[in-house]
Structure 1
């Protein structure tokens, strides 16, 4: 009985490593910020993503996701008395759980949900407070071009008590 249990345990560990080798993905996206916190306008955004997914079955994968994102602040003219206002850039590092549903060989739905750690040191002029991290969510729809490449459309939302950031993104993902 002891040998059978040990054999089963070794087989499970080796099969876990087999799944792990095919679950690493890296990618990037360009974004178009939309309806951010009052007084903050961002002109353009980009993000670099990495996730590690484990195959639960043919249609469902779960894992962890992280990356780096940056939104470039916009400058706009308010008037002759106030002058111009510069929105500082916003940088963040998401730490999230990831889930993907494979509808068929080509179409994938998914979401990343977690926390975005702010690495920005710019002050929030309205509340005299630094940008904080916040709740992070990223729903996505992907289209697999082949076994290794995927095009996707995703939305990024980050919110805390004082700040809200959102962007629509167009990206790609490479399965390693």
Structure 2
């Protein structure tokens, strides 16, 4: 009887520990730096962003949630000279407010990957926004901090806005 009781309590403890590992419900906030590429690199040399997300652990391997934030790509100045004439063009900042659903997969402890998919609302003048997607790879660097690497794409009317990002997220 003693062995059966001990076995029962050990199994119960294992179930509670396994359930605790699934409980990844968390609010996440952080910031990232952007390197504009493609068409975006023609008008901006760098950008900064704020990230906000809420994750819900569905099981040991999957989180679902919502994400938003704010990004600002700083417009650059281009100078073209030729034939004694110099023309200087100043590009405006480009700003987005993404609103997205997210999925994250946890193949090993301390590593997750997934994507945000939704719509990026254009904030800056002449920016209508578009379909937003952001694949992400993140590494836990402490119990409440992640280093995230991502690619952002916004499909605009007549073009696209693409950046490569590196940032830090804090879990609450």
TM-score computed with the length of structure 1 as normaliser? 0.79
Deviation at 1:20, TM superposition (A): 8.9
Q: Could you tell me which residue of structure 2 aligns to residue 114 of structure 1?
A: 118
- In the TM superposition, residue 162 of structure 1 has moved relative to its aligned partner by 2.3
Matched with 2:143 is 147
CA offsets 1:54-99 (integer angstroms, 9 cap, x no match): 1100110001000000101111112354611111110110000011
CA distance in 2, matches of 1:164, 1:37: 8
Q: Is the 8 A contact 2:24 2:57 kept in 1?
A: no
Q: Which residue in 2 is equivalent to 1:136?
A: 132
How far does the alpha carbon of each residue in 1:143-169 deviate from its partner, in whole angstroms, 9 at most, with x for none? 011221100111111112224211111
2:103 alignment partner in structure 1: 99
Q: In structure 2, the residue corresponding to 1:57 is in which secondary structure? A: coil
State how 1:3-82 maps to structure 2 within 5 Å.
Answer: 22-36=25-39, 40-80=42-82, 81=85
Tell me which stretches of 4 or more aligned residues in structure 1 moved more than 4 Å: none
RMSD (Å), alpha carbons: 1.9
- Rg: which structure is higher? 2
Over 3 Å counting, the alpha-carbon distance change for 1:20 and 1:51 in structure 2 is farther
Cα 1:56/1:26, change in 2 over 3 Å: same
Residue aligning to 1:125 = none
Q: Report if aligned partners of 2:24, 2:56 keep a CA contact under 8 Å in 1.
A: no
- The runs of 5 or more residues in structure 1 that have no matched partner are 1-18, 122-129
What is the Cα deviation at residue 48 of structure 1?
0.5
Q: Give 1:88's match in structure 2, choosing from 89, 92, 95.
A: 92
Q: Deviations over 1:99-126 (max 9, x none)?
A: 10011111110110000001101xxxxx
| Secondary structure of residue in 2 paired with 1:145 | strand
